[in-house]
Chains A and B, each alone.
Chain A
Amino acid sequence: MSPNRHSMQTPIAPWQAEVVADILERYRKDATRLVQVLREIGEALGELPGKVLAKVGEELKLPYARVAGVAGFYHFLELGERARYRVLWSDNIIEHMQGSVALCEEMCRQLWIEPGRVSEDGLVSVGVTSCIGMGDQGPALLVNGRPVTRMTRERVGAMVEAIRAGAPAESWPQEWFAVDDNIRRRDLLLDHPLKPGAALAAALARGPAAMLEEIRTAKLRGRGGAGFSTGEKWLSCRDAPGNARYVVCNADEGEPGTFKDRVLLTRYADMVFEGMSIAGFCIGARQGLLYLRGEYRYLLESLDAGLSRRRAAGLLGCDILGVAGFHFDIEIHAGVGAYVCGEESALIESLEGSRGVPRSRPPFPVTHGYLGAPTTVNNVETLAAACLIAENGGNRYAAVGSGISTGTKLISVSGDCARPGIYEYPFGVSVAQVLTDAGASGTQAVQVSGPSGICVAPDEFGRRLAFEDLPSAGAFMVFGAGRDMFEVARNFAHFFAHESCGFCTPCRVGTSLVSKLMDKIGAGQGSPYDINELFKLHRLMQSTAHCGLGHSACNAVVDTLNKFRPAFEKRLHSLEYEPAFDLDQALSQARQMTGRDDAGAHLGNEQ
């Protein structure tokens, strides 16, 4: 495949060429590392101009359009010129409730800029991004990729001053960047005093087959939401034909309202690495890959340091802990802003340097995964739990929980409660119990497992968090009595429209149509017809979309409609059909051009 002949002649500044060459060299000009290469170049140059993409294409022997197509997919690989300070406010409904919208407007006003645009002098841009995993300490934002938590009006003012003064973000007050763990309840996992190497040594002593059997005895199931049996996954992967095998840790914690993996990776990284090593030992893999969501990029250096410590201690590398022939190492890939990459096959596409578009399945990753080889993709929390099973055995683990759902689950609690943060419970805890422990009262609704999950109303607070009742990836967003559930659903609709990968028709167009319908209803222009349209789109996306994101993109809207119908109905303009086209609004440009705004310049305002 020939790279484009025209890109051969593009000039690139010498200092840029040097930076690019250095990064490409570090990745051994491996085209499957394209996403990492582009991320690092973007960070180093502060921009990703076309001629640099062309250079990358030449060196990696990829067509320019493919490089540009990959770069154009990811939110954080902004093409073209970037501002010196890039501010992205977390746009989840939880932060809205914490006042983020007004604070973002205030920041734009003080900086004299429009949201989403780079200022004329190239100094600053202010925009929004999907939930950054700081719901327990919001309003939060990212400045050049680093999270700043607990934003207030005062902090906005101080930040605007720092930006205007051109002070490098590294020199800003350290307390702005403080991220608290907020661990509120500990159980099996968070109470476990892991000595690095102890769980791995226990697994090695058991042997690979017996260790895998313990995982099956423990009835461990995936903690990322789908709840697939971990033992069966490892077994299928181990038995799939192929020379190389891979362990992938899915740390692309993108479901809005979830932040438990952030805490595990901050405080319990050794358990996660050790769980990956145990998985590698069981299935016969030599290589592990940890896919870290772009919003947690700030953890990369400490995680890399953790890996170095483990290598120095003989816990990664060759003949680990003296077991001849057990070689295993871990590499971290940082994502660059794409919720869909939490889907395991999209994650693998991204690891391979492609656009994060989910694959058609079957075949599944356990037989055809990373680079076509058998691959087990497991959630951060699942892998950490494997350490407990290695040390204490499957039976002890299975004894905790609800019987069907064994062990414990980390819950990320945010929203209207006194004590947001991380709560670890044995499976089977009731919604009401979590609410009580978190200090929530007068709760109107809880969104369990994020926008693709289930909206639970008070009459269901007796339901239990477990695979057999309310399965959850960990998000637990609490909405108090005064909250407008329509706005909750609208926020989630916008989220899916923003995060759809765009591959299949129903999700690409459907999420945008749903988003527009919600805006129409929100603007008081809706009718029962529009509500029926929402149901119809939900059924279509559920049955025809290419992947789980599309299937579940309307769950929250439909759930809220079913359980909080009055929140929608009070906004309906009439009980008849209403067109989305607003005749009077269509004249606004003409009014602006003619400078008129009198009664005669308006249409149809008699109602």
Chain B
Amino acid sequence: MTPVFLLDGEAIPFTPGQTIMAAARAAGRYIPHLCWHPDFRPHGSCRLCTVKAGEHFAAACTLVAREGMSVESRTAELDDKRRTLLQMLFVEGNHFCPSCEKSGACKLQASAYELKMMSPHFDHFFPDRPVDASHPDLLLDFNRCILCELCVSASRDVDGKNVFAISGRGIKTHLIVNSLSGQLADTDMSLTDHAAGVCPVGVILKKRRGFAVPIGERRYDKLPISAEEEASPPTRLPNAGPPPPRGGPSEAT
């Protein structure tokens, strides 16, 4: 018999070694998340998927499912925490949704709607993060980076290029690109890279593609992110190997 755990009271089947997140998504259930992606090993940095198993809090993307486990996810307590985490991400960067090309297709924005975030609550940090428009086909707007590292993984694991990496520490942690000049144009990034399309927010943008889909008709304009994700179970890249069921932030050498 397939083992199951309970997610907000609903039985979710899982395969041994599978995480709460992977099993929930495979079963068509949504747990709020930003840095998790079916193609890559779990990262566990955004903490939006924090769930409660018994008395313990844990990230659903790294917590391995066990038979009979009872996991709380969409409770008022946890959604409160998620809303605060989102507010932290909003004030940490510079997010101006009305003028962002990603509006309507942005996971950060969609998650904020999902969790009914009505204000940024905290004082804005207003960091100084210049954009990088050096590349002929791609624009990098670091103001919106949430440090999910999906581009780091995609470029390293799928494209085999290592275009992106993380530098700095603490609140000064930031995304960098693989060139001495610090400019994307001086890397081997190309428009067709998997990394070019993996950003859940509006950092990596394809040039000359503005408003190809009108605002109001974009992915999360039509349905809230929970309904949208539940309607479309995750599909994985055909060439992506099986990601290890759990891992850490350890960078591949």
- Chain A interface (Cβ < 8 Å from any Cβ of B): 1-2, 4-7, 10, 31-32, 50-51, 54, 62-66, 68-69, 71-75, 338, 345, 349, 352-355, 357-363, 497-506, 508-513, 516, 536, 540, 543-546, 580-581
Contact = CB atoms under 8 A, between A and B. Distances in A.
Given A4-B188, A64-B179, A504 B45 contact: yes
A419 B168 CA distance: 40
Contacts of B188: 2, 4-5
A504 B173 CA distance: 10
A499 B170 contact: yes
A509 B173 CA distance: 10
Cβ-closest 7 pairs across A and B: A359-B248, A502-B173, A72-B167, A65-B165, A63-B162, A509-B88, A65-B178
A65 B173 contact: no
Contact of B125 (A64, A498, A500, A512): A512
Tell me whether chain B's interface is mostly helix, strand or loop, or mixed. Answer: loop
A47 B163 CA distance: 25
B156 A1 contact: yes
Given A4-B188, A355-B169, A360-B249, 11 more contacts: A4-B186, A6-B181, A68-B165, A359-B249, A360-B248, A502-B169, A504-B45, A509-B88, A513-B88, A513-B122, A543-B57
A73 B168 CA distance: 5
A63 B178 CA distance: 7
A535 to B, nearest CB: 13
Interface in B59-73: 59, 62, 64
B250 interface: yes
Interface string B17-55: 000000000000000000000000010111110100000
Contacts of B164: 65
B162 A543 contact: no
A50 B173 CA distance: 18
B250 A349 contact: yes
A68 B249 contact: no
A74 B169 CA distance: 8
Contact of B253 (A31, A498, A536): A31
A4 B251 contact: no
A500 B170 contact: yes
Q: Which of A1, A7, A74, A508 has the most CB of B within 10 A?
A: A508
A359 B170 contact: no
B195 to A, nearest CB: 13
A65 B187 CA distance: 10
A502 B172 contact: yes
A69 B165 contact: yes
A165 B142 CA distance: 44
Nearest to A515: B171
B79 interface: no
B251 A354 contact: yes
A31 B253 CA distance: 8
B171 A73 contact: no
A355 B251 contact: yes
B62 A360 contact: yes
B187 A540 contact: no
Contact of A502 (B48, B165, B168, B179): B168
A503 B253 CA distance: 19
B171 A355 contact: no
Contacts of B123: 516, 580-581
B92 interface: yes
B91 interface: yes
B47 A505 contact: yes
Contacts of A505: 45-48, 85, 88-89, 146
A71 B170 CA distance: 14
A501 B170 contact: yes
A501 B172 CA distance: 9
Given A64-B180, A546-B44, A359 B253 contact: no
A50 B250 CA distance: 23
